[in-house]
Structure formats: structure tokens, C-alpha cells
Chains A and B, each alone.
Chain A
Amino acid sequence: MPVLLWTDALFFLLMLMVLVYALHVRRREHLRAPWRRIMQSPLAMGAAVVLGAYVLVALIDSMHFRPASSGAGYGEVISVLDYLARPLRMQTEKTYSAPFATHLYSKETIELENGREIRGYPRLEYGGAHLDDPRAQRAGDILRTSLVALAEAALVSLVLSLLVLTVLARRSATSLRESMQRVLHGRGRVPWRTLLGTAAALIVLVFLLLELSANYHVLGTDKVGQDVLYAAIKSIRTGLIIGTLSTLVMLPFALALGIAAGYLRGWVDDAVQYVYTTLSSIPSILLIAAAILMIQVYMANHPGNFTSVEQRADLRLLFLCIILGITSWTNLCRLLRGEVLKLREVDYVQAASAFGVRHGTIMLRHLLPNVMHIVMIMVVLDFSGLVLAEAVLSYINIGVDPATYSWGNMINSARLELAREPVVWWSLVAAFVFMFTLVLAANLFADVVRDAFDPRLRRETA
């Protein structure tokens, strides 16, 4: 039975908006121009492939349902990703185990078959359980599995490349060979070489993880024996939702108030300016802390309003998005007001108002489309900051629900592990790698988007 959580619905809505925007842009030359510049940048396209992979994971993870087996109404809600990654989710060990380990990380008393008890590292229940003699066989087994994965990945990448090349050849009416040479030498406007290269690297990574995680805990297990790779993958959705929904939730307010303040002037302007100056003068982390504290109190006192753990965690995520949106909204509003103040003196707006076009129509038809580039730049620039903020907030316990998978929660629960002897490093490293990749890709992409959309920069390079 499908279940639609609030953040799921908003995330799908966001995807739909992106789709509608893409179709809208496709038919308009002046809107296509900046995107064409972005498509020509190898850096941006490489980053876009990585971002796309993250979005795909988040999408699969956003389709929630309640398995039919677990009785009506009370079973846990799982996502399609949970279903696909059943082995990762179910195969939990007792406690810590290192990446690719076959034995637990701490000594325990083991009872031998003849009744004697010794202190030692017990075998893992799942990690490397198929090996008879782990010490001798493990390296060979990992190597063999990796080679199989590489072969599979190579095959998939090859098929994908051939497909792309065929389409390219068909479109430019050349032979397959010719289009292959063009791509290989990096000629042509769209950097297909980078695109296919990044995609191939990702495919290799995915197949390696798929094949190896069937028999091993590739990134080890955490304190309660949960697979770290699973936790890191599940955190992708949380990160992306915070990064995107926070700006989306407050976007209508920022647009309406910013444009109204700049265009109508007078008391509307004063009021809007007062509101955003007041909000932005509260240090954002304190405002977030205060709001989250209050929500905690509310949730603790009204347990009846939240029927399931998932719903509760989901609503807290949504609240966090809204609060983060409120703190970042003011900046966008100020920029929009400034831009509209300039635009309202421009000829086409003056002409429209001389023709007696109503204020509402002028704002909607003439001003809104011409400030969208600012919105675009801000949304992309804010994204990486929000992902980083989530980790910090979760670390000081004012972020997402402790039950939600997130990189911040992973770091939070791992912070004492470095003090252990020997060091438990894999949770931190996993959170670091996943977060760093996402934020770096977002930063690189954002830079190119800003350069392409900022009219000031465009004039200099043109």
C-alpha cells in the first residue's frame, strides 16, 4: 500500500516543477541561451551527472509504501530503496565491524563446540559468512568479486555509450565512427566525453558496491551493527530534501513580497523591509534553535497528532525546512526588491503602466519573468550551504529527528568513536565522502550557473 509523506509530496512537486520549467525553456530561445552555456561547460556537466545520481537515489527513497505482510495500519513504512536494499537493511551485526571485516571489532567470550570458553573475535553473522577460512580466502574473494563487477560495469557503460553515440550520429547525420571520433577528441559543443566518463565512473562504483555489499559490509557497521553504507545512502534523501525544499517552501513569499515591495513602494515597501530586517537581525542559528525547541515541546505534549514514527520524523524534517527557509528567505527578498526597484523604471514596464495595465498583471507578466534569474542563482547557491547546515544542526541536536538517517546524525553518533582505541573511523569517513561529493558537485555546478545567468558577467565575456 503506497504511503505519501509530506516531504515526499513536496519533493515530487519540485521534480514536476523542474520538468515543467525544462519544457517551458525548450521552446524559448532567450531562456535556452544560458542553459546552453552551462551545457558546454565540462565541469558543470560532470557535476550534473553526479547530482543526477544523488537525485535518482533520493527519488527512489521518496516512494514510500507499507508492505502488505505487516498487518493493516501498524507496520513500518519503508521506501522502494529500502525494499531494493533489503540485504543491507536486514543484515545487521551485533556491533562495530571494520570495512570488509569477517570478525567483530571487539573481543567477546566465545563458546566452542566442546564446551570450553575462550576470549576472541567472533565471526560476523553476514560479513564474509560464505568463506570457510576467511584469513586465506578473503583477499582472493574480494578481488574476484571486484573483477566480476568491473566486467559488468564495463558492459553497461559500453552499451550506454553506444546508445548515446548512435543517437548523436543519427542526429548529426554522420557515421557512428565519425561521431565517436568527435566525442573522443572533445569536439562538438556538448562535452559528451566528460558526461560519458563521469557516468562510466559512477556505474563502476555502483556495480562494485552492489557486488561487494552482497557478502561484505563495504563500509563496516556502526555501534548497533547497522551497515554504514546503508545509513550513508539513506542520508542522501535527507540532505537533498533540506537543500531543495528549504528554498522552495519560502519561494512564493519571497517572490510576492520582494516584487510587491519594489514595485508598489510606499507603505508596502516599508512593511516588507521591516519584516525582513527584523527576521535577518536574529542570528539564524539561534532562531532555528528557538523554533526547533518549541516544536520539540509541542510534539512532546501532543503525541496524539502523530500516528507513526515515520510521520513524526517526516514532519520534523518539514518544520526544519520551513525554519531554514525563513532564515534564508530574507536575503532573496532583499535582492528581488532591489532588482524590481531598477526594473520598474525600465521602458517596457513604463509602457505597460501607461497603457493602463493593472498592477497585478505588470508584476506577474513583466516583472516576475525578469527576476527569475536571481531566483535561479540563489536557489543553486543556497543548496550546498543548506546541506552543510543540516549536518551542523543535527550535531547540536536541533536538526532532523534522531531517528532519521542523516549525515549530521551519523557524525553526531560517531564523534566519540575517534576516542576509542583502536579508532573507529569508517562512519565518519563514509559521511565525509558522501557529503563532500554532493556539496562539491553542487558548488561547481552553482558557479557555472551563476556565471551563465548573471547578466553583468555575461556582458564581459560576450
Chain B
Amino acid sequence: MIAYIIRRTLYAVPILIGVNLITFVLFFVVNSPDDMARMHLGIKRVTPAAIEQWKHAHGYDKPLLWNEAAQGLENLTNTIFYTKSVRLFVFDFGRSDAGRDIGYDIRQRMWPSLAIAVPTVLIGLLVNITFAMLIAFFRGTSFDLSAVVLCVMMMSVSMLFYIIGGQFLIGKMFELVPISGYLYGIEAWKFLILPVAVGVVSGIGMGTRWYRTIFLEELGKDYIRTARAKGLSERLVLFRHALRNALIPILTGIVAVLPLLFMGSLLIESFFGIPGLGSYTIDAINSQDFAIVRAMVFLGSVLYIIGLLLTDISYTLVDPRVRL
């Protein structure tokens, strides 16, 4: 088991190197630092001196890959590639283009993100499983059909409309909770309810439909027939047998996205004004802060790979037939 984890972790290294190279090519080769400086300083009437100054202030005035002027190992380390890309591997994100410490910002902002993402996933899981079991119980009836059609309709509504609609109805018309904003500490619940509710409702369509298929697949298996043949009631069959086995694919599917919860939801956070990592990313995109976007791309890939690893491990934990 431990050998497997080590092997998988080592396997992640070349992938992260690849991600790093892709971001490096995207951010420094497709456009030279001069282009970026010009973009930040305004396109027209920009003096070369101003560009040089901007590049120097942000550490972009070094050569890309090989520093001729430097001595010894500095040849390699005193370059953009080393200071901006390689340092990401030790989670040294450096400073944003606006001058702030990215690592500090990330540590500060991940808590509001988690405060929204974790309840959303947990409540969503509970709601979706309940609905899916209800539909699976009435399988083959007109209730089943209309529920599935309803799910498809809910899937067809853009996330944007769930957010706008939720804000408008709950926040503005009924004035139950504040429309946006955030408070640290226990007071935060007032600002969390609406985003969490919107997140759960918007996921019902896809989640319920997916879990319903899992349940139906499980209900078609032999051990269910055996349980029924023993004379067990449908309720027992559904809860004691089908639910437990259906939870395997459901939970392992959740494990894959767990690490990414740190990143938060881009849309929900920016709409509700939550100071999490999602709105951090959006702000960076809008203000064209390349350093932050680069850091988030790398962080996202690391978390994704951790998710894959966790999925494989959780398979062996819940299903003894899978051997690593």
C-alpha cells in the first residue's frame, strides 16, 4: 500500500513538470514580458524606460532560460524560468503583479472558500442521494419519468441564473439574508446560507440523475434478487443492500473533487462577494494579474492530482476486491 502511494506520488512529478512547462510557455514565450508590461502600463505612449522599470520591479527583467551574465549556478537560477516557474514546486508563489504575497493571500482566503464548499458538497450529497433513492423506489412509474425530465430541465439552466434568481428572490424580494458580503467568525452563517443553498439547488439536476442511474444499476444485480427472494421488504432491500453498495461509486466520485474544494467556486464567490480563492482568481483574471493566475493554475493541478490519488486509495479501502 505504502509502496503504491509512493509510486503514484512519483508518477505525479512528470505531470507537474509538464503543467509547469505549459504555463511557462503560455505566460512567457507566447508573449514576451515586454508585451505584458505594455499591457499593464497601457498600450499607447509607453516609453521603453517605463517598460524596463516595470519589468525590473516585478522581476521580469531576467533572461528566460539562460543567464549569460551570471556566474556558476546563477546561470540557471537567475532566470525567469527558475524564479517564476521552478520555485512553484516548493510552493513559493512569489509576489503578485500588484505586489502582494500570493502565498499569504492563499492561506488567508482558503477558509471562506472551504466554509462554502464543504457544506455545499455535504448537503448536496445528502439531498441528491435522498431524491435519487426516492426516484429509484418508484422506478418505472410516471413519477420516475417526470422526475427525470425535471432533472434534465434543472440541468439545462445555466448556473448564472440560479445565482441571479436566488439573489433576487431571497435577497431582494423577501430580504431574508444579505445579498452579498462576508464576516469572519461565527457571524458568517448569515452570509453563507444563500450561497450554499444556490450551490446545492444548482447541483440537484445532474447529481440526482447520476445517482439514480447508479441505484438502478445496483438494483439490477443478483444479490438484490437474492435479498428479495429471501422475502425482505423493498425498504430493507433499498436501504440495507442497495444504498451501501451504491455509496461506493458515489463516495469515490466525491473524493476526487475534495482537494479542489480549496479552490472554491469562481462564480458563487464572485457573485456573493465572498473573499475566497474563487473570487481571488476572478479578480486576478479581471485585473490581468498574471502571477496570481499562474500560481492558481499550478495549485489547481496539484490538488487535482492529489484527488486522483485519493480516489485510487479510497477504492481499496471501501472495496476489498480491488488490490493495488
**Chain A residues within 8 Å of B, Cβ to Cβ:** 274-275, 277-279, 281-283, 285-287, 289-291, 293-294, 296-298, 300-301, 384, 388, 391-392, 395-398, 407, 411, 415, 418-419, 428, 432, 435-436, 439-440, 443-444, 447
Interface string of B264-307 (1 = CB under 8 A from A): 00110010000000000110011010100110110011001100
Partner of B31 from A301, A388, A415, A435 at Cβ < 8 Å:
A301
* Structural contact, B263 and A283, CB atoms closer than 8 A: yes
Q: Which residues of B contact A396 (CB under 8 A)?
A: 266-267, 270, 282, 285-286
B123 located at the interface, meaning its Cβ lies under 8 Å from any Cβ of chain A in the complex: no
Beyond A290-B297, A388-B159, A447-B152, list 10 extra A-B contacts (CB 8 Å).
A274-B15, A278-B15, A281-B15, A283-B300, A290-B294, A300-B38, A301-B35, A396-B282, A407-B158, A432-B157
B160 located at the interface, meaning its Cβ lies under 8 Å from any Cβ of chain A in the complex: yes
* Structural contact, A283 and B301, CB atoms closer than 8 A: yes
- Minimum CB–CB distance for A459 against chain B, Å: 13
What is the bound-complex CA distance between A298 and B293, given in angstroms? 17
Q: Which residues of A contact B15 (CB under 8 A)?
A: 274, 277-278, 281
* Structural contact, B155 and A443, CB atoms closer than 8 A: yes
30 A-B pairs, CB-CB below 8 angstroms? A274-B14, A274-B15, A275-B18, A278-B15, A278-B22, A281-B15, A286-B281, A286-B296, A286-B297, A287-B297, A290-B27, A290-B294, A293-B293, A296-B288, A297-B36, A298-B35, A300-B38, A300-B43, A388-B158, A396-B266, A396-B270, A397-B285, A397-B286, A398-B285, A411-B158, A418-B164, A436-B157, A443-B155, A443-B156, A447-B152
* Structural contact, B266 and A274, CB atoms closer than 8 A: no
Q: Which residue of B lies closest to A415 (CB)?
A: B164
Partner of A436 from B43, B156, B281, B286 at Cβ < 8 Å:
B156
* Structural contact, B293 and A286, CB atoms closer than 8 A: yes
What is the bound-complex CA distance between A447 and B161, given in angstroms? 23
Interface positions, chain B 20-51, Cβ under 8 Å from A, are: 22-23, 26-27, 30-31, 35-36, 38-39, 43
B168 located at the interface, meaning its Cβ lies under 8 Å from any Cβ of chain A in the complex: yes
Per DSSP, are chain A's interface residues mostly helix, strand or loop, or mixed? helix
Partner of A418 from B38, B172, B281 at Cβ < 8 Å:
B172
* Structural contact, A392 and B267, CB atoms closer than 8 A: yes
What is the bound-complex CA distance between A392 and B282, given in angstroms? 12
* Structural contact, A282 and B297, CB atoms closer than 8 A: yes
* Structural contact, B152 and A289, CB atoms closer than 8 A: no
B114 located at the interface, meaning its Cβ lies under 8 Å from any Cβ of chain A in the complex: no
* Structural contact, B19 and A439, CB atoms closer than 8 A: no
Interface positions, chain B 158-185, Cβ under 8 Å from A, are: 158-161, 164, 167-168, 172
* Structural contact, A440 and B160, CB atoms closer than 8 A: no
What is the bound-complex CA distance between A91 and B185, given in angstroms? 54
Q: Which residues of A contact B26 (CB under 8 A)?
A: 290-291, 294
What is the bound-complex CA distance between A283 and B305, given in angstroms? 11
Q: Which residues of B contact A296 (CB under 8 A)?
A: 39, 288
Partner of A392 from B19, B43, B160, B168 at Cβ < 8 Å:
B160
Q: Which residues of A contact B31 (CB under 8 A)?
A: 294, 297-298, 301
Q: Which residues of A contact B304 (CB under 8 A)?
A: 281-283
Q: Which residue of B lies closest to A418 (CB)?
A: B168
Q: Which residue of B lies closest to A437 (CB)?
A: B156
* Structural contact, A282 and B35, CB atoms closer than 8 A: no
Q: Which residues of A contact B188 (CB under 8 A)?
A: none
B70 located at the interface, meaning its Cβ lies under 8 Å from any Cβ of chain A in the complex: no
- Minimum CB–CB distance for A298 against chain B, Å: 6
What is the bound-complex CA distance between A397 and B293, given in angstroms? 14
Given A274-B15, A283-B301: A294 and B27 interface contact (C-beta under 8 Å): yes
Q: Which residue of B lies closest to A429 (CB)?
A: B161
Q: Which residues of A contact B296 (CB under 8 A)?
A: 286
Q: Which residues of A contact B301 (CB under 8 A)?
A: 281-283
B260 located at the interface, meaning its Cβ lies under 8 Å from any Cβ of chain A in the complex: yes
Q: Which residue of B lies closest to A303 (CB)?
A: B43
B98 located at the interface, meaning its Cβ lies under 8 Å from any Cβ of chain A in the complex: no
What is the bound-complex CA distance between A407 and B156, given in angstroms? 14
Interface string of B194-213 (1 = CB under 8 A from A): 00000000000000000000
